């Protein structure tokens, strides 16, 4: 979809040893002045990864350094997580309310969840 919008997607790798969570150092190394949108998915399907608040805060600090960068936060599975994990909405972090587009919906929390394709992280330039 990024290419349809004439953007250049940059796929950021995540590793099984990091529970498929985005490394803030990798994110910072890939962001440029051309960057416009960071897509985050937490909780993530199919990995089940849930970003801890501290990691989201580190990502928010990086986003704050780039005034033209917005975050699309896919939080559709916020109610389908298991203890001890807890959900933190990216928009709830300091300075991120105005910079975040939150994706959520009724069907995943109130109806039977369907199988969805793998999640990836993309930085659009």
Residue 48 CB-density burial (10 A; 0-12 exposed, 13-18 middle, 19+ buried): middle
Say if residues 109 and 13 touch (Cβ distance below 8 Å): no
The reported pLDDT for the residue numbered 63 is 97
Residue carrying the six token digits 């033209």: 68
- pTM for the whole thing? 0.81
- pLDDT-derived band of residue 94, with 50, 70 and 90 as boundaries? very high
Structure tokens at 109: 């929390």
What does each C-alpha distance from 88 to 18, 42, 112, 115 come to in angstroms?
19, 8, 22, 23
Cα 112 → chain centroid: 23
| pLDDT digit string, tens, across residues 28-47 | 999 999 999 999 988 887 88
Go through the domains of the chain in sequence order and give each one's CATH number: 34-123 (3.40.640.10)
C-alpha 51/C-alpha 43 separation (Å) is 7
Nearest residue to 31 (alpha-carbon basis) of 56, 54, 59, 55: 59
């Amino acid at each position: 979809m990024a290419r349809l919008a004439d953007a250049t997607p940059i796929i950021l790798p995540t590793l099984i040893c990091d529970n498929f969570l985005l490394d803030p150092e990798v994110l910072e190394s890939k962001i440029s002045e051309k960057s416009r949108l960071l897509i985050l998915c937490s909780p993530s399907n199919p990995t089940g990864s849930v970003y801890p608040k501290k990691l989201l805060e580190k990502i928010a600090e990086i986003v704050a350094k780039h005034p033209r960068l917005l975050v699309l936060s896919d939080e559709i599975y916020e109610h389908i997580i298991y203890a001890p994990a807890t959900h933190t909405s990216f928009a709830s972090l300091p300075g991120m309310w105005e910079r975040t587009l939150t994706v959520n919906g009724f069907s995943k929390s109130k109806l039977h969840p369907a199988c969805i394709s793998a999640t990836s992280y993309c930085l659009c330039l």
